[in-house]
Amino acid sequence: MNAFYETIQGTTPVLVDFYADWCQPCKMQAPILQDFAKRMNGKVRVLKINVDKNPQVAAKYGIRSIPTLVLFKQGNAVWRGAGVHQTKQLEQVVGGYV
C-alpha cells in the first residue's frame, strides 16, 4: 500500500474509486470511470481500491458505503462522493483541481 500513499502525494490529482467486486453499483461505476479517464487525458489519475482486499485503507478514509470516490490533491482529500457519478459530474468536480 506504500505505492497508494506515494501516488496520492503527487501533483497530479488522483480520483480513487473505493469498490468491491460483489457491489452492483460499483460495477456500474467502472465503465463511467474508464470513460472519464480517457476524457481527462492524463490530467487526473484514476485508481481503484478494493475495500475487501484493503480494509485498512478504507478504514483510514472512513469509507462506509461503496462505491465512494475520493479526489486527492497532493495527499489531501479535497472531495468525496458516495454512489454512482456520471462522467459530466466528475469533470465538474475535478475541473478546479487540474
Among residues 4, 7, 20, 23, the one annotated as catalytic is 23
Catalytic residue among 26, 44, 49, 63: 26
Active site residue 83: no
Q: Which residues pair with 19 in a beta bridge?
A: 50
Encode burial over 16-54: b for 16+ CB neighbours within 10 A, e otherwise.
bbbbeeebeebeebeebbeebbeebeeebbbbebbbeee
Is 26 an annotated catalytic residue?
yes
DSSP state of 86: -
What is the set of active-site residues?
23, 26
